[in-house]
Structure 1
Amino acid sequence: MVEAGFNSLSQFLSDLFASLVSLLKVAIRGRHTTRLPDRQLPTCSVLGNGPSLNESLTDQFDFIRQTEIVCVNNFAHAEVFLRLRPQDYVISDPNYFVFTEQTTDRDDIRKTLSIFQNQVDWPMTLYVPHFAKGSYLLGKIEASNPKISVVYFNYTVVRGFRRLTYWLYSKGLGMPQAQTVIIAALTLMINRKFDTIYLFGADTSWHEQIRLNEQNQLLIKQIHFYDKPKDLAHQPVYMDAQRQRTFSMAAQFLSLHKVFRGYEVLRDYADYRGVRVINASAKSYIDAFERESISQSVNQSMSNE
């Protein structure tokens, strides 16, 4: 009984401190609110770049085309991008926004920029964090393609009392910690008040590709649905720009914990906003969201009408 009391007091004080820190951050960055466009359809599909997306695109292409489509990061590299013609695109990787004409080691970003400039010939909303404003990449896109409209979202991580954090999320004044771009995309789509959000290609299986070499360096093979497997290899995951030291195993698994915890936070927030999130990925380690086949979900939606 006494131990439970101490635990409750400790949690209250922790939430109080986190809430005060969050309010301070919001007070500093409060002018950077997020103004989201109205949804175009009642249902959307958020497409992650995990390998399993190939299976989902084969089996569920027609279904996905009937929803508002949200793509992320380097999805544009895939041939299917031009066939899907997504209405929404989210980029949160900070490397995009320090990229310049002189950058020599990020051909992937250069390729994405080229596609946005020259091949996107339909209306598309690009969501980026507010700190991206004024970047070389955004300047090039806004100057060359009027079909792409840019929405800046406020990536201020807020924590604390649940009612307070949910209010800050809903007002676009803060977000959960977006350890992956999918968490940012889901937060934005929940705030756009879709009835149902389907998640595809969210394998979240990076732990399967972790290795240690003989020098105790942590290696990971990053696999995306648009990659050619023969071109991939395990690469060191460096924690500094000078590439002198790789992440430790403990740090890597802590990062994975933050990913999965972020999905749990979003599950509760989606329930609070009355938004149903369904993990329809062909393969996924995410256990926070309900899992259903597309046929089951469609049949249930039809029975509720």
Structure 2
Amino acid sequence: MLEAGFNSVNQFLSEFVKSLLSLVKVVIRGRHMARLPIRQLPVCSVLGNGPSLNESLADHFDFIQQTEVVCVNNFAHADIFLRLRPQDYVISDPNYFVFTEQTTDRDDIRRTLSIFLEHVNWPMSLYVPHFAKGSYLLGQIERGNPQIKVVYFNYTVVSGFRWLTYWLYSKGLGMPQAQTVIIAALTLMINRRFETIYLFGADTSWHEQIRLNDQNQLLIKQIHFYDKPKDVTHQPVYSDKYRQRTFSMASQFLSLHKVFRGYEVIRNYADHKGVTILNASAKSYIDAFERTQIKWPVASK
């Protein structure tokens, strides 16, 4: 009885401290409320870049095209990007926003920028964190392609009392920890008040590709649906800018824990907002969302 009471008080104090720290972060970093565009349809499809997306696009392209389509990060590298013509695109990788004309080691970012400038000839909203404002990449896009509307969101991680964090989420003043871009994309689409969100290409199977070499270096082979598997090899995952030390196995699995915990947080927030998230990925380790088989046609309003 005494222990239960102690645990209850300890939990309250922990949530109180987290809430207080979250409010301080919001005051310092999150003063710009996100202004999200009105949804175009009641249903959207969020497309991760996992290898299984190839199967989903082959089997369900017509279904996906009938929903509002949300792509992420380097999806534009795929030939199907120009056929799909997504209405929404989310980039949260901070490397995009330190990229400059002089950057020599990020051909993937240069390629994405080139595609945005030269080939996007339809209206598309590009969602990026507010700290990206003023970056070289966004300057090029805003000056070079009027079809792309940049939408800024706050990536201020907040936690604490659930009623407070949900209020901060809904006001665009904070987000759950977005260990992957999919978590950020789902948060944004929940706040745009879609009725149903379908998730494709969310394999979340990185643990299958973890290796340890004879020097105890952590290696990962990161395969995306647009890659040619024979061109992708296991590479060290460095923890320092001097590329001397890789992440430990413990830290790598802690990072994976944050990914899966983030999905649980998003599921609870979606339930609170009356939004249904359905995992339609051909392959996925995510257990937070209900798995589903595609039903056709999509109801329209």
Task: Indicate whether the TM-score tops 0.5.
Answer: yes
How many correspondences in the alignment?
300
Show the counterpart of 1:270: 270
Whether the aligned pair in 1 keeps the contact of 2:209 and 2:220 (CA below 8 Å) is yes
**Mean alpha-carbon deviation: is it higher for 191-200 or for 239-248?**
239-248
- Counterpart CA distance in 1 for 2:57 and 2:2 is 54
Answering whether residue 61 of structure 2 is matched by residue 64 of structure 1, we say no
Residue 250 of structure 1: aligned partner: 250
Give me the whole-angstrom Cα distance separating, in 2, the residues matched to 1:264 and 1:57.
26
Distance (Å, rounded) in 2 between the aligned partners of 1:193 and 1:8: 34
1:231-250 maps to which residues of 2 (within 5 A)?
231-250=231-250
1:41: which partner in 2? 41
1:5 is displaced (CA, Å) by: 1.8
Tell me the distance in 2 between the aligned counterparts of 1:239 and 1:43.
Answer: 39
Provide Cα deviations, 1:145-172, integer angstroms capped at 9, x if missing partner.
0000000000000000000000000000
The residue number in structure 2 matching 1:92 is: 92
Name 1:289's counterpart in structure 2.
289
Equivalent residue, structure 2, for 1:260: 260
Q: Is the 8 A contact 2:91 2:126 kept in 1?
A: yes
Deviation at 1:220, TM superposition (A): 0.1
CA offset at residue 8 of structure 1?
1.4
Q: Aligned AA for 1:16?
A: F
> Partner of 1:109 in structure 2?
109
Give me the whole-angstrom Cα distance separating, in 2, the residues matched to 1:171 and 1:46: 21
CA drift of 1:234 comes to 0.2
Aligned mates of 1:164, 1:186 — CA distance in 2: 19
TM alignment of 1:207-246, pairs within 5 A: 207-246=207-246
- CA distance in structure 2 between the partners assigned to 1:178 and 1:74 by the alignment: 17
Name 1:280's counterpart in structure 2: 280
Partner residue, 2:16:
16
Deviation at 1:11, TM superposition (A): 1.1
> TM-score scaled by structure 2?
0.98
> What is the aligned partner in structure 2 of residue 172 from structure 1?
172
Q: State the distance in 2 between where 1:11 and 1:57 align.
A: 45
* Letter of the 1:192 counterpart: R
Cα deviation for residue 32 of structure 1 reads 1.7
Segment of structure 1 superposing worse, 114-123 or 24-33? 24-33
Partner of 1:161: 161
Q: What SS does structure 2 have at the residue aligned with 1:294?
A: coil
User: Is the contact between residue 45 and residue 64 of structure 2 (CA under 8 Å) also seen in structure 1?
Assistant: yes
Report the identity percentage: 81
In structure 2, what residue type is equivalent to 1:2? L
Q: What is the Cα deviation at residue 30 of structure 1?
A: 3.6
SS in 1 for 2:75: helix
Paired with 1:168 and 1:236, the residues of 2 have a C-alpha distance of: 37
Distance across 2 between alignment mates of 1:63 and 1:99 = 35
Summarize deviations over 1:229-259 as a string: whole Å, max 9, x none: 1101000000111111100000000000000
CA distance in 1, matches of 2:201, 2:278: 12
Q: Which runs of 5+ in 2 are unaligned?
A: none
Partners of 2:19 and 2:200 in 1: CA distance: 33
CA distance in structure 2 between the partners assigned to 1:121 and 1:234 by the alignment: 36
Aligned-partner Cα distance in 2 for 1:36–1:263: 21
Instruction: Tell me how far apart the structure 1 counterparts of residues 212 and 197 of structure 2 sit (CA, whole Å).
Output: 37
**Equivalent residue number for residue 152 of structure 1:** 152
SS of equivalent residue, structure 2 residue 74: helix
User: Contact 2:30–2:156 (CA<8 Å) still a contact in 1?
Assistant: no
Task: Tell me the secondary structure at the aligned position of residue 39 of structure 1.
Answer: coil
After TM superposition, give the deviation of residue 6 of structure 1 in Å. 1.8
Rounded to whole Å, the distance in 1 between the matches of 2:201 and 2:51 is 7
Q: How far apart are 1:2 and its partner, in Å?
A: 2.3
